[in-house]
Amino acid sequence: MDHFQRSLRNTFVIDPIDRAADRRRDPAWLAAQECDEQSLFIPIWRSQSLFLGQDSPRPVLLSPHQVRTRISESLSSTLLGIRGGRAYFAVELLPDDSAPARLAELGEFQDLRQLAALLDRETGALLAYARAMTYWHARHRFCGVCGSPTFSTEGGHARVCSNDRCGAHHFPRTDPAIIVLVCCGERALLGRKSIWREGQYSTIAGFVEPGESIEAAVAREVWEETGVQITGMDYQSSQPWPFPSSLMLAFRARAARQTIRVDQDELEHARWFTREQVCDGLAAGTLRLPPPVSVSFRLIEDWFDEGSLGGLRGMIEA
């Protein structure tokens, strides 16, 4: 399986979608899409999405008429793209907006992270995309150069400083972060933070620093957090992670020795696991792994499934 196909299996990866980069600079075309009754709007309030139902939650997407009558005719929206001949937009409700009350009969705003596993892949990816874009807009209402207010343009994919003497253009950004499963022989290295629930372990992760390659970030983060020196690595896949705005770059790395020196400022504990120990810990309830929607789980799953104990996902869902 190539890297592209690996990434497509990750939650929150959306493909295919036409982001309409060549058309979102056309105000007339955008206005037509916003008024087209086939278009759908994804409402976001306080980084939450609108859902109907609890056991089998269904995302609530709004028509242009519902946006005009239940929210506001002047509310700014962000074009996400065209899919199946239909335009999708994200629309952010201000934190103190009373719109959630006006939308209460349609559904309830809930955290996407808690419900992502219950959604189909395409819908979950669209909601994550909408969350990421509204998060960026909410934090760039003022120019980082001169402090003046900014306004949205290019279908919500740019913000421009309103100060004519500045006029800086700001574009959506995502923070690159590495996430790595380190192996030594038949053992995999997992660590835990003190703030996590009891028994939870995960792969090593951290942000790429300025002036640093992703490979250097992998080696540095593993060394800083666990004192383990890696001898090689292989890129696995990537995952957009909108909590709040990261791009996770996943690796499998190799270590020559199993000696661990934990940085207590970063981790509470780290240890090497065999597949048998993972299996036994899950069965006994003493080990908890990252949620299956995360690429961290995918890294552990791919490693575990290379053994002869069966599929990890089946054990989690049993």
Query: Matching CATH topology for 3-139 and 175-313?
Result: yes
And the tokens for 148? 């003046």
Spell out the domain ranges in the chain: 3-139, 175-313
Angstrom distance (rounded) from CA 293 to CA 303:
16
CATH number (1.20.120, 1.10.1200, 2.40.350, 3.90.79) of 3-139 reads: 3.90.79
pLDDT in tens, 216-243: 999 999 999 999 999 999 999 999 999 9
Query: pLDDT tens digits for 128-157?
Result: 999 999 999 999 999 999 999 999 999 999
Q: How confident is the model at residue 76 (pLDDT cuts 50, 70, 90)?
A: confident
What does the pLDDT average to over 204-210?
98
CA distance 95 to 134: 12
Q: Which two tokens stand for residue 217?
A: 């970030």
Q: What is the pLDDT of residue 147?
A: 98
Q: Give bridge partners of residue 240 from the DSSP assignment.
A: 247
For CA atoms 65, 70, 71, 77, give the dihedral sign. negative
User: What is the rounded distance in angstroms from the CA atom of residue 173 to the CA atom of residue 284?
Assistant: 42
From residue 286, how far is each of 255, 262, 280, 281 by CA, in Å? 26, 21, 9, 5
CATH 3.40.50.300 correct for 175-313:
no
Residue 187 pLDDT > 70: yes
Decide: residue 200, CB within 10 A, 0-12 exposed, 13-18 middle, 19+ buried.
middle
Dump strand ranges (E) for 84-229. Answer: 86-93, 108-110, 150-153, 158-161, 169-170, 175-184, 187-192, 204-207
Is pLDDT above 90 for 75? Answer: no
- The pLDDT assigned to 251 comes to 98
What is the reported pLDDT for 315?
87
Q: Which pLDDT score is estimated for 74?
A: 64
Is the pTM of the predicted complex or chain greater than 0.85?
Answer: yes
pLDDT band of residue 73 (cuts 50, 70, 90) is low
